[in-house]
Chain A
């Protein structure tokens, strides 16, 4: 069985076993501004100011979704190919969406490490189906053709 077939089999088994691969309570935050930082009058760089906006649930399925607290309204939905970067920042998971920007999900109970690992696996599976493998996640997700 090839690596791709193994992944797909695992994914279908997981999808059958659970309605969602992962579901966690989280607070969504977005960047309100990038603050320039100076030292001795020279620009050192920029730091993001993240404002927390709304509580809800982060769901990992065939896509990544953020739904409201009642679980009815989908506030955001992203395909994995839209993800430009993903990383942990303290107790939050951060994703950078192409043409949109940075979203931060501060997890109330669950581990950001679990989310990072699960999201990475989902992204890997998504690209593997297309014959691509992810070779780096930061600063941006980069893929290359799978070599046999």
Chain B
């Protein structure tokens, strides 16, 4: 309920703040689990994907984002679950697999952090293994334009509204199907090809 309300308020805010266009929304399945993988160029990316994804999204979020009490309270209620980036965090993978098992979509930023220059960074090996283990459709999502608005090295002015809004394009690509890779050996074997497919898919939408 709270998630729906925050999405509603968030949509009004972002519509007033930005000119947002969507492409390829038909790629998002109306039901069933999927993993949304996005490029990450700005700290406003997770807000935009959460608010505008056609389905209620549950996103792996860096644990340090929960250092504020308000985020600790609201984060889990709007689909954010923590992952500790400084160590292997099996709990985050367990939660993601559980959510997928319940038919919910999970969002992941495979670069693991924001890009400094707007270009795609190297993807995390563990994330690609997770995609292979999950065995659900993987939908690439390109967030275009947010780097120009709020790059990692800059600041975002949350309260400035302009008549000429900045343009952001959210582009969804065709789903990637990796099939079943239940065993560790199968995942290791499929890793290079899967990595290449994910990189190319995200490049095609950014």
Q: Which residues of A contact B (CB under 8 A)?
A: 35, 37-39, 42-50, 84-85, 87-90, 94-96, 102, 113, 136, 138-140
Contacts and interface: CB of A to CB of B under 8 A. Distances in A.
Nearest to B66: A47
Nearest to B122: A136
Contacts of B62: 89
Interface string B65-109: 011000010011100011111111101100100100000000000
Contacts of B67: 47, 49-50
Contact of B82 (A47, A88, A89, A113): A47
A133 to B, nearest CB: 14
A139 B63 CA distance: 13
Nearest to A88: B113
A139 B64 contact: no
B63 A138 contact: no
A102 B63 contact: no
Contact of B91 (A43, A50, A94, A113): A43
B112 interface: yes
Nearest to A86: B86
Given A46-B63, A50-B67, A138 B91 contact: no
A85 B82 contact: no
Contact of A38 (B63, B76, B85): B76
